Every structure is written in C-alpha cells, then in structure tokens.
Amino acid sequence: MKSIRNSSVRFFLFVVVAVITFAMISVEARKHHSNRNKPHKHLKDKGSSSHNAPDPATNIPGPAPAPLPYYGSYPTHSIIFDVLSFGAKGDGVSDDSKALLAAWKAACKVSGAVVEIPAEFKFLIKPITLQGPCMPHLVLQVDGILLAPPQVGAWPKSGLFQWLNFKWVHDFTIQGTGKLDGQGSAWWSPSGVYYIQKRSKHNPDMKVPTALRFYDSHNVTVRDIQIMNSPQCHLKFDSSSGIKVHNITINSPENSPNTDGIHLQNTKDVEIQHSNIGCGDDCVSIQTGCSNIHVHHINCGPGHGISLGGLGKDKSVACVSDIVVEKISLQNTLSGVRIKTWQGGVGSVNNVTFSSIEVSDVKYPVIIDQFYCDKKICKNQTDAVAISGVKYDRIIGSYSVQPLHLACSNDLPCTDVDLIDIQLKPSSNGFRGFRQALCWNSYGKSQAPLLPSSIDYCLRTESRSVKRIARSHTEHICPP
C-alpha cells in the first residue's frame, strides 16, 4: 500500500510540473507572436497624386473607397521560415535567391507554414520559380523589399519571361506591407530595347519579364502588398482559378511601355477589389479564356483603363464571358472601359457589365474597337470575335477626345448592347476632341439620361436577321 501511495504522489507531482511548464511555454510563444502580429500601416499612395479620385459632382458616383485595412499577419500557431535563417543577407546587393528558394522548399512541406521576408531589409532576388504542390495554407509574408536585378544584362536567358514565378500552388496567400520592386527602368529605355532586340536574334521568342506570375494555381490570395516598376506586366494569372486580389498598390510611370497592372489569361472565378493601379498600359487586362470575373472599387490612372482584349490576334479563338466591372474611378487614362479585338479572330465576348464608372479627363471613356491594330497598317479581314450582351450603366464624368466609340465589325455586328445613364461632358482642360458619339454596326437599346444627346441615336434596333448572323458565328466555338 505504501508503494502505491508513493507512486500516486510521484504521478501527481509530474502532472503539476508538466502543466506549469506548458503554461510558461505558451506565455512565451504568445509574447513572441504578439510583436509580429501587430497591425501594420498600409503603404498607400505615398506622394502619389495620380491616384487621388477627382472631386465628384452631385450627380457623379463617389470615387472608389479607401483600401481595405491590413488584416495582420499569420496565425500564432504558424511555423515561420525566415529567409534570414536560410542565409539571406538582406543588404539589397547580395544574391538572396538561393535563401528564398531554400526557405520555400522547407515551408512547402509544412501545413500552414509562413515564408517570411522581414521588414527593414532589402533582398536582391534573381528570376526564380517557387513551385508546388505544397501543403495547404502556405503564406509568403512580404514585409521587406524584394528587388529584381536592375540591369537587363543581369537577367539570365532562362528568366526572361517572369521574375517571381509561382507554379502549381494551391491554397496560397502572398501578403504584407512590403514591396516587390521590378526595377524595370532599364527595360523601358532605348538601350534596353536595343539589348533585347540584339539577344532576340538568337531567341526570337524572347519576352520582357512579368514581375509576379501565377501559373496553373488555384485558391490564391494576393493582398496588401505593393508591386512597382515591373519590366512589363506587374501581376499575371495564367490558367488559374479561385483568385482573390485586394488592397494592393501597383505603380509604374505613365511612359513605361506594356506595363499592365493585372493581366488575366485562361483564368476563371476572380475577384479584384479595393486597389490602386497606375501604370503604362491597361490597369486590368482580361484576355481569352476568362470567365466569372468581378472587378470593383479600383482607382485607375495613369494607364489605359480596364480592357477586355485584344482578342483574336493572328486568327486565334477568343472566348470571354460573365464579366462584371463596377465602381471604378479612372483619372487621365487613355480609355475608360473597353473591348478590343483583332480582325480575323473568332469566338465570342458575352454577358459583360460595366457599371458605376467615374471618369475624369479620360480620352475615350467607352470603347468597343473591333479594328484593333498595334501597327501602322493591319490587313482588313472579314472574320471577327462576336460581341453580344454588353451593358454600360451609369458612366459619368469628363472626356478629352470622344465620349463613346463603338466600332463593330463590318461583317459581324455587336448585338444586345445597352447604354443606360451615360453622362459625359467635355473636359475643361483645353478640350479639342469630338462631341459626337460613334456607333458603327452596333445594335441594342439606350435609356436616359444620355449626354451628349447623340448617344440616344447611336444604336440600331435589332432584327431577327441580325441576331441570326450573330448566332451563326458563335455556335460550337466557345463553351456555353
């Protein structure tokens, strides 16, 4: 009996010690993570007046609301893989690519892991592919600055398509208060163009790099970060689905060529919201193979606006459907909301809505251009991508060249186009454009208020023969 009592006492003491030890460890862990998880101030619009929405008139919808608040870091139970622990220097000069890749490979094997790019450090990263599949809920926490190679000649030939390439990642988030700086000015200069042309003689498929690209990736979230000065496109999604982009800032100079903000291709189920985008090309570009796309609460400018296309280049098939673009503010852009297709292409664009669009000093607020050409002369061709079911609802503000430009194919009309509550006035900044709207071979209906009044007479009334022609060009080409 005495031995039994001694065993019971020893077991009781062991349990008490274990509980006290576990409590002490938990307290220390919470202390460690409480410093990491304090909300950060979002890096938004520092010294950038180009993204400030114009003062709305009483009948103009308000500008896009301020970006969403930063949501904090990662859960306290996450295992952290700090790139400094994998040999990164963080001095902005040393090549830290191997350290980032090593941290990624280690984190990829752990569910809910975090690859951390710590604040107050700059990491020079050469073109790199961070590949999955990985364990779910992987996070790349960017609070420091990632730098691309600043000179064109420093990029390896194998890395000329993209800088940071994410491939086959699922249930993945990239977030933080930091920056991805593509340092692309060398690519935009005449010397950079000459260098590219010289190397392209040996590699005719050579491209200018995209800063951040996702390929064949699903359930991806990109939030809170800043992407700047990409050599070409800033953020690209290709053959992906389940994409959420919010509260990000993208900026590059107005004269930086082909620097699209966000580019979608063969991608579906996308929401892009509450972000500021200023660049040298389209703020958002939606290409072939895209469906179920929702873009809202975006400040765009400088840039070329929100675009579907160009579609159908080199007689290719283009299929785009179920697109909603709403609550957008555009300032000093080339276009507002536009659809552009090449002659000779086939396929269809249908079920598209542009609504609550505010424009200020935009050259062409509303465009359908089925004669798109990026050269001086393009050959006239009869085939065209069919455009139907496009609604423009509440497009309000000022234009500097032409209020509305609907130039549809000579052989295939645009059908089921709605123009509702379009109120566009000439810009007060030395207007020298056209006050009349242009509608060519476009059919649908309009609804007041409409300004200028020429919009009311722009669209033709559809007939059965017109609808039959449109259907005959789209059957069995794009999926229903």
Residues annotated as catalytic are 281, 304
Are 220 and 214 in contact by the 8 Å Cβ rule? The answer is yes
Residue 145: name the closest of 220, 38, 227 by CA: 227
Q: Which residue has the tokens 């114009």?
A: 54
Q: By three-state DSSP, how is residue 121 classified?
A: coil
| Preceding omega of 118 cis (within 30 degrees of 0) | no
Residues 6+ apart with CB under 8 A from 207: 160, 161, 232
Residue 275: name the closest of 251, 291, 258, 307 by CA: 251
Q: By three-state DSSP, how is residue 456 classified?
A: helix
Residue 347: name the closest of 321, 373, 378, 379 by CA: 321
Length of the chain: 480
Q: What is the helix (H) or strand (E) element at residue 391, kind and residue range?
A: strand 386-399
> What gap in Å lies between CA 303 and CA 233, rounded to an integer?
12
> What gap in Å lies between CA 317 and CA 181, rounded to an integer?
35
Residues 6+ apart with CB under 8 A from 199: 157, 206
Structure tokens at 405: 């430009």
A 10 A CB-CB count for 5 gives 9
Cα separations in angstroms, 404 against 183, 433, 437: 37, 12, 5
Exposure string for 159-172, b = 16+ CB within 10 A, e = fewer: bbbbbbbbbebbbb
